[in-house]
Structure 1
Amino acid sequence: MITTYKTLNGRLEPSVGGDLSDLAAIVWIDLANPDAAEEDRLEAALAVDIPTHEDMQEIEPSSRLYSERGAVYLTAQIIATHDPNETEIAPVTFMLTPDRLITVRYHKPGSFDFFVEWAKVHDMGCSTGQTTLMALIETVVDRLADVIEGEARKLDGLTRAIFAAHRPSGKSSTLSALLQRIGRAEDLNGKVLESLSTLQRLLGYLGTPLTGEAGEILQGLNKGQVETLARDVRYLLEAATTQSHKVRFQLDATLGVINIRQSDIIKIFSVVAFVFLPPTLIASIYGMNFVHMPELKWPWGYPMAIGLMVLSALVPWLVFRAKKLL
């Protein structure tokens, strides 16, 4: 789907359907899941090459940050949080020409929707492709900051839940749920780190003095804004790295709690086996079928054997209780 955006009184005005009749007034063209016909139509109208989905997934820096045929191509990994338990990450290509910004994406990041809704009612200075690019990247970075802040609060609650499960009154059944939550936290944090890393390289490219056609296209960028965003991304990378260490600590703590609980269970079985070992020995002795066993003819032989078994079980149990092993 092709959506074009024009500037009206400092605000973006969308046009769904790809109306390219007034190219001079269009500052942003957004291609969401474009098909071959839409790509061919746009390439013919703008005289640029639209990268395919396969091209966008290349991980080499030379395939993600380059200039070609009068356009600068910038590809970054952008996350899309559809629900609290599912996060998608996929490449988005920002094509900057002297006249406008073109974005190509095959997923639906929430930061794009938020940017469009906000820019429709607020003047964000999106009068050119360069200013629209910076405003859009700023929104993406703000969204990543919100995700990191939200995860930080969740991780604090997760730490309390882990050590609550370690208490005697804690339920062992919660440990499996905690492991699932830790796995989701690590998955999300890894995707945030990947997205921030690609944005850091993108901003580094924009902040580097360039010559030729790339230098001319990027000449209208606000270098101060680029430096500010690059500094924000560095801070977010540090915060996400710290959270990654915290997630690993929580995983180690959860596995430690599981090991402690398993050790407690094995200890109980060991104590029970030891307590019943002497009674079993006595019962085994008097269960032998020898003819000459004096106790078999005693009137009180049976009560004596029962008493010995009870006593031999009671004494070890009291010893373990005294040593607080039970």
Structure 2
Amino acid sequence: MVRLLTQQGQLIDWNDEKTHPFPDNLVYLDLLNPGRGEELEAEKWLEYQLPTREEMQEIEESSRLYMEKGALYMTAWIPVGLDTPDPENTSMSFVIAPDCLTTVRYADPMAFRVLADQVRRQCSTPLSSDAVFLTLLELIVARIADALQSVEGDMKKICRDIFNLDPHKAHAGVEKDLSDVVKLLGRRSALVANLRESLLSLSRMLQYFLNNAATWMRGDLAAQFRSVMRDIKSLDDYTNQQTQEMTFLLESTLGLINIQQNQIIKIFTVASVLFMPPTLIASIYGMNVGLPAAENRWAFVFVMLVIVLSAVLPIWFFKRKRLL
């Protein structure tokens, strides 16, 4: 699909075969899952080449940030599917020149849909390539901030849940709850790692843009670009804090699991100690090896009293030591 935005704020979605060339007053050209024909048509209008999908996957900074024929080629990792169970980062290219911004992408993040909705509602329609680029950056960063706030809410809930559990009560419900907490923390940790990777790539891309587009960028937008840079920096610091909090919660959860397992082992240990003296006495008496009281009719009663006493005394001792 090809989406066009003109200087007058007109949004054009071309999903079918093109019957006429692109208009001359474009400020934004968006290629979503482009076919080869759409790429060639866009390159013909732009008069420079666009990065291929294979080139967008390169990890070297020189392959992701460079200039060619007066246009800045910038590729960043953008989070997608943040509302789904399996969010991920996808590589997207921003090719910006003084007259037009071109994006090449193979996923549809919410920021691009929000931009289209804003234009359709005629909400402060951007009329230049750098203004469109700024709007996209603001929407992407705002989306990342919302995701981090959601993670913070989950961590607060996890903190309340795990510290309200009583690990000394060894039962299946506690074990299942703690197991679910570990799984949730693992998913949120992976999400924060993806968001941090995206923030790092956005920071590098924005810094490269500010260093190389200063000669033609609109002066009134420079302060807003710097504001976005500060937002990215603050969110990156926030991800560091969340990573530390999740590490603490994970260690606490694993500690509670260990306490619960130790409680189970303690129960079996105490039970074995309680039954050891009676078992020993009963075994000796049962072997019938000529006990002194073997001919006495009170021998059985005496032995049973000794067995009961040998069981009661350890129970009393463990109760006194608060081990039961």
TM-score by length of 2: 0.91
Aligned mates of 2:41, 2:78 — CA distance in 1: 26
Equivalent position of 1:201 in the other structure = 204
Equivalent position of 2:185 in the other structure = 182
Equivalent position of 1:113 in the other structure = 113
Q: Is contact 1:97–1:129 with CA below 8 Å preserved after alignment?
A: yes
Q: Which of 152, 175, 186 is the matching residue for 1:172?
A: 175
Is 1:91 the counterpart of 2:91? The answer is yes
Deviation at 1:104, TM superposition (A): 0.8
Task: Point out where structure 2 has 5 or more consecutive residues left out of the alignment.
Answer: none
Deviation at 1:46, TM superposition (A): 2.3
Aligned mates of 1:325, 1:84 — CA distance in 2: 47
CA deviations on 1:28-80 (whole Å, 9 max, x unpaired) are: 11111223332233223322212112211111111111111332111111101
Q: Is contact 1:6–1:12 with CA below 8 Å preserved after alignment?
A: yes
What letter corresponds to residue 301 of structure 1 in structure 2?
A
What letter corresponds to residue 222 of structure 2 in structure 1?
K
Equivalent position of 2:131 in the other structure = 131
- The alpha-carbon distance between structure 1 residues 16 and 307, as it changes in their structure 2 partners (threshold 3 A), is farther
Deviation at 1:189, TM superposition (A): 0.5
- The alpha-carbon distance between structure 1 residues 248 and 12, as it changes in their structure 2 partners (threshold 3 A), is farther
Q: Is contact 1:97–1:217 with CA below 8 Å preserved after alignment?
A: no
CA deviations on 1:180-221 (whole Å, 9 max, x unpaired) are: 11001101100110011111111111222x3xxx66565678
Equivalent position of 2:237 in the other structure = 238
Q: Is contact 2:182–2:253 with CA below 8 Å preserved after alignment?
A: yes
Equivalent position of 2:50 in the other structure = 50
Q: Report the identity percentage.
A: 34
CA deviations on 1:245-278 (whole Å, 9 max, x unpaired) are: 1111111111111111111111111111111110
Equivalent position of 1:63 in the other structure = 63
Q: Is contact 2:56–2:92 with CA below 8 Å preserved after alignment?
A: yes
- The alpha-carbon distance between structure 1 residues 86 and 205, as it changes in their structure 2 partners (threshold 3 A), is same
Is 1:279 the counterpart of 2:278? The answer is yes
Equivalent position of 2:29 in the other structure = 29
Deviation at 1:113, TM superposition (A): 1.2
TM-score by length of 1: 0.91
Q: Is contact 2:168–2:260 with CA below 8 Å preserved after alignment?
A: no
Q: How many aligned residue pairs are there?
A: 319
